[in-house]
Structure 1
Amino acid sequence: MRAVDRRGPAPTVDRLDWTDQVLDLEVGPIAHGGHCVARHEGRVVFVRHALPGERVRAVVDEDGGGSYCRADAVTVLRASPDRVEAPCSWARAGGCGGCDLQHADPAAQRALKAEVLAEQLRRLAGLERSVPVEELPGGALGWRHRVRLAVDEAGSPGLRAHRSHDVLPIADCPIAPAGALPPVLARGFAPGSEVEVARDADGVVHVVPDPDGAPDRRVVQRAAGREWALSPGTFWQVHPALPDALADVVREWARAPRGGMAWDLYGGVGLFAAVLAEQVGPDGRVVLIESSRRAVADGRAALADLPQIDWRAGRVEDLLGRLGGRPDVVVADPPRRGLGRAAVDALCAHEPERVVHVACDPAALARDIALFDAGGYRLAELRAFDAFPMTHHFECVALLERLG
């Protein structure tokens, strides 16, 4: 006789969802990602457009039903002394996803980013280290010399809303160079496409694709005492002062010996390879690995007078294991996710004296530092640059030295 299940259907559990609720919140510390941390009825609330120490009224705009939700401050009930009026009307609840910190004084922005860096190092690498985030020349506005616009279904370009595919009908963007965007925003493009607007070192504004079908022009960039003529779309830092700042740090920390061996991983068009090539001289060797074949071609052309650079087009993950010998120094500028365990283990196995690690994400950098520590490398130096004012992003450079 078959047993009968008399328990009945499992009871349903209502998923907790505070979406669209308005909460009064005491705002706590800054967190990585452009928001501050608050707590309400036992849950964490990540609050955008707020500052530590403020009391705000916030609307929950995203709730997955777990231990946390996301909200946007709509009313400031008690303001921080660091709060200022945002220079852009889209830097608000329901607005643009590009800028997280326009409501904070620029000096306060840098202090908040330094807090994020210290917290990530403490939590992920077990290090107590306080590092200031250094201001770059040019101020907090007009610095973004490359902007990627989204195009809506009607063919109008704009910027995407925060955590959304919606395209906002902006008229300009204050962190872009003055006058660069309005002529592009007034034009029509293929619906659903993207448009890149870049201002080069000569002040020429390049639009790709060009709405008039004009042939692509070379994008001229200069840094480290050299010039590159790049194909449209080839990567170059968006802040015009950052390439020289990074090249100067690499020059100081790499100390590649004359006639020595250096590796430049994720090397792009060879900004750091140019510095390393000068250090090792004509009898030395610099191995550069870069996945973009277009960047490799542009770099080869720009640095044709440096035959000691050995260009390798391919993924670092695929080519690193094929490199032989022991480099004196390695410079690595990986994507936002960082190097990761496999790459760090491979580098440690080659035993370079120094690794100069360039990073645009403090959490990924802290994880990599912990991996290097386990592989016998100590963090010797660390600098941070406010290369993306008004946003939560910043750039770091770490020097790791081999123990023993």
Structure 2
Amino acid sequence: MKAKKVIIIGAGIVGYSTAYFLNKSGCEVTILEQTDGNNNCSYGNAGYVSPSHLVPLASPGIISQGLKWMLNKRSPFYIKPKLDLDLIRWVRLFHKASTDKRVKEAIPVLYDLTVKSQKLYEEILETERIEAGYNKSGLLMVCQTAQALHHEEEMVKIAESYGLEASTLTREETEKLDPNVQYNMAGSVFFGCDSWMTPNVFMAKFRELLIERGVDIQYHSTLTDFKIENGKVKAAKTKVAELIADEFIITAGAWSPLLMKRLGIFMPLQGGKGYSFMMENLPSNPKLPSILVEARIATTPMLHGLRVAGTMELAGINHTINQPRIDGIIKSLKVAMPSLADYDFSSIRPWAGLRPCTPDGLPYIGRVSSLSNLQVGTGHAMLGWTLGPITGKMLAEEVLGEKASVKSELLKVERYN
């Protein structure tokens, strides 16, 4: 059988993972990327691979909490006030999806995706001998208040019902588990099932591997249009070429709905801007990553220091650094981790990335019904890094005609049409 030609649009972890599995199966793969490929969400994220994250972003209570936060420029969640019909529709759909029924339907799907993706990461790291600081020692959810701790204990019950390692810890037990850091806390929840790594290191080595094996990655290559013939995508047009292929896959993150609009397909998705920065030369790094629950801030001990990441800002497609958001992260960090109060934050270099967020908190993965050779893999929100390999595997399986690793109507690309 003649090897299939596949064009992937987007060079993040989903695009790279899709290319990896297709290349292993003998496909001829080209990746188109509009940037230099070094600054997307796959590089500056918290690096978590988290089976514990079973509850989608759209969940009961998030709307009322969001309304309290949304007009505060320093809060964990912020919506920039503007008249935008796509944003208004997204918020309405988000509200509709934030129900107990919807969450219960989503949890088993997220369990399958996260657990299988973690295994795929481990297989890739071992098989390809990639060293990126992978560590499977667990994750702490650090709570300053008893109320927050009680809420996280509900997550423990859910995790345990799926056989995942999870437990509630006192302040003393938390400090014993990680003596390198002192938290301002009532207690914590420990998810021993979670792992982490340094994502930018993994991405650089993964890219080298793909190029060595013949994947053609074309950076600074902006897609301008598609050529459609007889219900199929015939070619992808850039400013300098018209690229013909058998299969086309959009893995362009927050830019994906803009490409879908050109095809006349409605796919609600908002870019949720998040920020991160590295803290270097600390006396000692924490042993474990942590999520500071009330502030929605993630901290991760990486190969080159401590990465701090957080906030969700809906402000359109841009990478502008909103300094009050950074100030809010620093203020919350000092309160939650008092030992960092004297750190010189003037030396940090803030980074911003756009998490692609669907209204119901589940990604879009699979074929488009109106175009038989087009697939989409995006909308992972805060789970983009966690779910990269399984999404790539599923997209590759569809191209190759193999049985899907995970199959669910809740992941359909056109579920809002």
Higher helix share: 2
Do they fold alike, i.e. is TM over 0.5? no
TM-score range, shorter chain: under 0.3
**TM-score between the two structures when normalised by the length of structure 1:** 0.25
Higher strand share: 1
Higher relative contact order (CA 8 A, sep 6+): 2
